[in-house]
Amino acid sequence: MRKNYFYGLLSAFLFFLLSGMAVQAKTVSPYEKLQTNLPVRVAIFGDSIADKTGVAPALSWDALLYDWLLDTYPAPIVLDSYAIGGTSSYTGYFQSETAMRKNIRKNGSYDLIFICYGQNDSPDNFGLYYEAMLRSILRQNPSCRLITILESSQQVYTEKMLEIIRLSNLYDADIADTIGAFSLSEFSFAQLTPDGTHPDAQGHRIYFETIRSVIENGIAANKKASSLSLPSTPFVSLFEDYTFIPLEKCRTADGQYRITPQTPTLGILYRKFPGGSDIRLDFSTGEVWADTGDTTVIKKWTMAAPVGLLIAPNTTLSLQYEEGIEDTVLGFICSGRLPH
């Protein structure tokens, strides 16, 4: 009798435990949350096309999207933008590892994430940097739905746009094709982009309508969260252990700046200022990496620029400059491990 009583208690306990685990295991997808009163957090990554350039802020595609979400769905909506004009997908990786990571620690992960890059990216290693960004975002937001944007400014499906399509399919991201949407509209490309790159108000409305259709189709198809697939190249694992080395830690006794990282160097972080100085990064071999270019810009921003595929560990780097380096270069982005 006592034995049966004991097994009865044990069975009840196991049922309760397994039922609780089943409830915890069930997650609500981003599109399901949108249709309930659960809060939905939205993030936007991108360049100037995502940063309201060329249009009144209230008429930009992200503003139209935010208003539509509030008017259409019962969920409380929070939208954070990490877009910075003039940047590439490498800066998107940097933003994910820094600004977004900090925000997530404070406020929680995101549900819908829009990615709008390509115009400013070099074709060299574009897929590597774009995939590194996608993986960084997905690692921090495992229940999110990704929506990638094919930028209208490309006008045709360039090699970079085809790479975005490939990676979107790999990571189960939805694609908002504004190249196709522009070509099918009643307006010419010149009419929609007065400066040849940035959409006007009508162009931003086409962006919004394209993205709205993607969301509506995703809800109709009951799509779940995007997936963190295996990387398509082993080199992308280099970006999964972000390390930042501030410039002040690189100052030598003679007042120069040199560093010999024990891990691969992935990029340099710098801030552009009007009238900035000529700054170059030299390897120990004497090969010049790159000039930061014309630093005469209207606004100040922080950017992260790659240094090629990578710089091998134990390579000495030195900064050559005229004056004002402390106001421009902030430090180096390094990896914490080599690919297996």
pLDDT tens-digit map of 82-118: 998 888 999 999 999 999 999 999 999 999 999 999 9
Confidence at residue 310, expressed as pLDDT on a 0 to 100 scale: 82
Question: How many CB atoms are located within 10 Å of the residue 301 CB?
Answer: 14
Q: Residue 253 in 3-state DSSP?
A: coil
Across the chain, what does the average pLDDT equal?
84
- 31-40, 291-300, 304-313: lowest mean pLDDT where? 291-300
Instruction: For 290-300, write each residue's pLDDT tens digit.
Output: 333 333 323 45
> Tens of pLDDT along 209-218?
999 999 999 9
In tens, the pLDDT along 120-170 reads: 999 999 999 999 999 999 999 999 999 999 999 999 999 999 999 999 999
Both tokens of 17, joined, read 């435990």
| Mean pLDDT, range 64-82, rounded to an integer | 96
Residues forming a β-bridge with 280: 291, 320
Domains, in order of start, for the chain: 28-220 (3.40.50.1110), 241-335 (2.60.120)
* Residue-level pLDDT at 207: 98
* pLDDT tens column, 232-265: 999 999 999 999 998 888 888 887 788 888 888 8
> What pLDDT does 67 receive?
97
Q: What is the mean pLDDT of residues 52-77?
A: 95
DSSP string for residues in 284-326? TT--EEEE------SS-EEEEEEEEEEE-TT--EEEEESS-GG
In 3D space, the residue among 43, 107, 108, 30 whose CA is nearest the CA of residue 73 turns out to be 30
pLDDT at 334: 92
